Every structure is written in structure tokens, then in C-alpha cells.
Amino acid sequence: MLCSYMYKMKLFTRNMTIFKCYYHYRRHSHTLINYTEYPFHEPNSSAYQSLVKRCRQSFKTTGCCYLPNFISNKTLETILNEITEWLNKYGDRVFHSYELHNLHLQETTNTDEEQQKSSKTVIAYDQIPTTSLLHQIYQYNPLTEFIRQITTPETKLYRSRDEMGAMYVNIYEKGNQLNWHYDNSHFFVNLLLKQPSDEGIFEYKIQNDKIISRNDFEARGLTIFHGSQYRHRVTEIKSPKKERINAIFTYATISDHKLNDYIHKKFFGRIQKWDINDEY
């Protein structure tokens, strides 16, 4: 009887462990993103199909699809705490970019071409731990599929394989801005984590150089933007008490997408991949 009792207790303990793991997974995955408004876990639902239709139309006609309140408040709080931890840990090994570039982010010898000034602090993909919430969101397959349906419904879509630029964090503090440019990638996905109400504003130009200022963008929002077709910028942060923080998710229609050495050097400060397990 003792053996039978011990076997039942062992079986009970194992089942409880499985249940706890499953519960933790369900609870964690369903609090990371605002599933009430964005039901990625129910792709066959009418709510999901309606969301796809609306966002696809917005992206096609205006170049921009904005999803407010995309992540939960708890997710935002955790991500910001993780970023603070990385900045404290890495110190001066994060890249503080102060660069001149042309409108197409390309190297040029044309001295007559207008040069743009941009500056920011960058935490590259190879500096972001795989256990972080940002990494989990970027690797979330239903999100990739949703973005494919919005931007490239006729082709496959892949997460970038670039070791620095697949996903990265931009931090804009006093004096920082991202000046006018077009992106090399077809589009970008931007998760906004901190946004002042009157500085560091995302702007883009449409017909006749009319500037659209997105003062409605707020922290927790996700933006899908046709950056290769619309000139855009982030205006300067002028106050020492304000900062703008966002994460960029990079996707491509080719499975082995990587940035060139010029972009790596210009905007990440290096060419070689960084081993996150190095001593700091």
C-alpha cells in the first residue's frame, strides 16, 4: 500500500507541475499583448478578420497602421525595467550615434547631396537577452503572420536574420532626433515604449510634401509604417526631462535578410557581432 500511495503522490505531483506550467504559459502569453483588442490567438474569428481588413486598408492608402494599447501596462513596465537594467549593465558599450546620412541611408560621395543629422542611443539585437519580453513579442509567430497579412499578403514574410538590426531599441534624449530619410526595408514595425506629448514626434510627408505629425502616438502603441515609400523623421527632444523610447521589429520577404556593413557601422557603431555572454 505504501508503494501504491507513493506512486499516486508522484503522479499527482507531476500532474500539478504540468498544470502549473500550462497555466503560467496561458497566463503569460495572454497578458503580454492586449488580446481583447488584438485577438491574434483567434485568427479565424470575425474580430481578427475585421482587424486585418482595416489595418491592410490603412497601410495601403496612408502608409501607416497604428494599433494603440497594443501591450498591457504590466508588459510596458517590465520592458522599461529591462531596458534600464541593460543600460546599467552595458554602460558605454551601447552605441551613442551622432551621424550624418543622406535621405536613403546610403553612403555617398556626392558633396552636393543634402546631409541629414541624426543622433540617438541604440541597444542592438545581439545585446537584448532572449529571455526578455521584447524578444518574446518579436518571436511571436501570430504577430509575424498578422504583419504579413497587412504588408505583403501575396508573399511569405520572415523575421530578419540580422544580428544587430533584426530588433533594436532606440532611446532619444535631449538633443537627439532622427532626421528625414527613407528606409532600406520595405516597412518597419515600431513598438512605442515612451513618448513625450510635444517632443520626439513621429512625422512623415505625403503628397506635395505635406507633413503629417502623429501627436496621437502613445506608449504601448504599435505602428506598421511603409518607410521605404514615405519620407519620415522623429523630431528633436529638447527637454532634459523627456525621452522617447521605441523598439523596432524588422521583417523581410527573404529568409536570410541582413543589413550591410555600412548600415551596421553607421547606426550600430560596429560590424562584428557582440557576444552577450562576454564579461562587462
- Judge whether 204 lies within some domain: yes
- pLDDT for 10 equals 53
Q: Which domain holds residue 81?
A: 33-268
Q: What percent of the chain is predicted at pLDDT more than 70?
A: 84
- Judge whether 12 lies within some domain: no
Number of domains in the chain: 1
- Average pLDDT (5-9) is 52
174: left (phi over 0), alpha (psi -120 to 50) or beta: beta
Tell me the pLDDT tens digit for each residue of 52-95: 999 999 999 999 999 999 999 999 999 999 999 999 999 888 99
Cα–Cα distance for residue pair 237/235, rounded to 1 Å: 7
More confident residue, 3 or 157: 157
- Judge whether 196 lies within some domain: yes
The pTM is what? 0.85
More confident residue, 31 or 151: 151
Q: Which pLDDT band, with edges at 50, 70 and 90, does 44 fall under?
A: very high
- Judge whether 210 lies within some domain: yes
Q: Which pLDDT band, with edges at 50, 70 and 90, does 101 fall under?
A: confident
Q: What is the CATH number of the domain that holds 61?
A: 2.60.120.620
Tell me the pLDDT tens digit for each residue of 192-248: 999 999 999 999 999 999 999 999 999 999 999 999 999 999 999 999 999 999 999
- Judge whether 123 lies within some domain: yes
- Judge whether 129 lies within some domain: yes
- Judge whether 215 lies within some domain: yes
- pLDDT for 22 equals 36
- Judge whether 163 lies within some domain: yes
